[in-house]
Structure 1
């Protein structure tokens, strides 16, 4: 179980995230929704222990991500920020860099993961020749190599065409169903994730606004997008009063 309690990280000027609370069980998928600059990436960085927090913490099965990385990082797959694979390597060689970090990542697992993200045909091509969407795929492969139990994904469909978004969304949905991996994913492509998320969490101007399960959302709204726009309008209306 992954728990986020009162997670707060505020930068000078007020940017960041304040008072974020989440509980994610095995096999649950939480969509982190909000406009640009709402604090989604900061929230994911803080959950991953990449940045220090002003208060609160994230924990995996009771162990603090920030304080006990040796007990938490092996179970986490982190794809946060712009993909930055080494351009002079091939896709295969880039993934090979990780095999010393994670026990059990051998040649067979590398080839299997390339196949999983639709990059088997391009594993021997240098990354500098990849499109933006292909770089996104190889970065995703790097976080899936060690079979993590929790994925933190920041805009995983960025730079992908419609077909690519559909393929990766289907792959991730199957991964959740087959392995019970937990996922927290931020995405502007709500339609690509709506049919496989279990919860949605809205942040706005650095504040945690609302979280609801998909069943609860569908009781009151036509879909996740309507749920999101409703709460966003409420926040903006309140700010204008």
Structure 2
């Protein structure tokens, strides 16, 4: 179980995230939703322990991610921020740089993971020739190599065409179903995730606004997009008063 309690990180000028509370059980997929600048990336960085929190904490099975990274990071796959693979390497060699970091990851696992993300036919191409979507797929492969229990993804569909987004979405859905992996994913492509997320967590202007299970959303709204737009409009009206 991954648990986030009152997680707060505020930068000068007020940007960041305040009072984030979240519980993610095995096999659950939480969509972190909000407009640009809402605090989604900061929230993921703080949850992952990449940046220090001003208040609150994130815990994996009761162990603080920030205080005990050696006990928590092996269970996590973190794809946060812009992809930045080494451009002079091939896709295959890039993943070989990672496999020594993870016990049990061998050459066969590298090939399996490249196939999983649809990059086998591009594995011997220099990364500098990759499209943005191909770089996204390779970065995703790098965080899946060790088969993490918890995956954190920041805009994983960025730069992908419609077909690519659908392929990766279906792949992730399959992994969750097969392995019980938990996922926290921020994305503007709500419609690509709507049929496989279990919860939606809304943030707006650095504040945690609302979290709801997909069953409750479908009882009251036409879909996750309507749920998102409804609460976003409420927040904007409140700010205008």
**CA distance, structure 2, for counterparts of residue 153 and residue 5 of structure 1:** 20
**CA distance, structure 2, for counterparts of residue 127 and residue 150 of structure 1:** 27
Deviation, structure 1 residue 100: 1.2
Number of aligned residue pairs: give it.
Answer: 241
Deviation, structure 1 residue 99: 1.3
TM, length-normalised to structure 2: 1.00
**CA distance, structure 2, for counterparts of residue 233 and residue 80 of structure 1:** 27
**CA distance, structure 2, for counterparts of residue 14 and residue 207 of structure 1:** 11
**CA distance, structure 1, for counterparts of residue 32 and residue 198 of structure 2:** 11
Match of 1:88 in 2: 88
Q: CA offsets, 1:84-109, max 9 Å, x none?
A: 00000000000000111100110000
RMSD: 0.4
**CA distance, structure 1, for counterparts of residue 144 and residue 156 of structure 2:** 13
**CA distance, structure 1, for counterparts of residue 154 and residue 143 of structure 2:** 12
**CA distance, structure 2, for counterparts of residue 204 and residue 77 of structure 1:** 25
Deviation, structure 1 residue 35: 0.2
Unaligned runs of 5+ in 1: none
Match of 2:137 in 1: 137
Q: CA offsets, 1:194-214, max 9 Å, x none?
A: 000000000000000000000
Q: CA offsets, 1:197-232, max 9 Å, x none?
A: 000000000000000000000110000000000100
Match of 2:18 in 1: 18
**Aligned structure 1 segments of 4 or more residues deviating by more than 2 angstroms:** none
**CA distance, structure 1, for counterparts of residue 202 and residue 234 of structure 2:** 12
Unaligned runs of 5+ in 2: none
